[in-house]
Amino acid sequence: MSLKDAFSGLKEELGQDLKSENNTLGSKTKASVAKNSKPPNKTSKLSKPSVEEASPPQKAKRKLGKRSNPEFTQAPAFIRKATHRAVKVKLIMNTEFNDYSELVEALLVQWLEQDK
């Protein structure tokens, strides 16, 4: 008997064993599905919150920023770091302007009105 013949014989036996095992597994799963034909209950053991608890609290609408306002445009400029730091410090101390942008706009408007 050659090695090739022995191998093919083993292969056939193994194939038959696998087929019979698959058949028994298939019949077991079909039987278990038939027993449990009722769909599984998907409800949680935790109680559902009431409608009042489920709704999130109402948030106050935020004011649109300058970036999304079509009346504004970004106008970058290069200034010295020391000047920028001094301006930020003065803006914190002075409550006339809310931010750097308002100060720059006020100064530019003032400059434009000088020529009139």
Q: Averaged in consecutive runs of 10 residues, what is the pLDDT profile of the chain (116 residues)?
A: 63 65 57 55 57 68 85 93 94 87 94 90
Question: What is the model's pLDDT at position 2?
Answer: 64
Nearest C-alpha neighbor of 105 from the set 66, 47, 55? 66
Nearest C-alpha neighbor of 77 from the set 100, 93, 98, 95? 100
Question: What is the model's pLDDT at position 27?
Answer: 56
Give the predicted TM-score (pTM) of the model. 0.44
Question: What is the model's pLDDT at position 63?
Answer: 77
* Contact between residue 97 and residue 106 where contact means Cβ atoms under 8 Å apart: yes
Q: End-to-end CA distance of the chain, in Å?
A: 115
The number of helices, as runs of H, and strands, as runs of E, in the chain is 4, 0
Q: How far apart are CA 92 and CA 95, in angstroms?
A: 7
Q: At what angle do helices 81-93 and 100-114 cross, to 10 degrees?
A: 100
Q: How far apart are CA 38 and CA 75, in angstroms?
A: 68
Residue 39's SS3 state is: coil
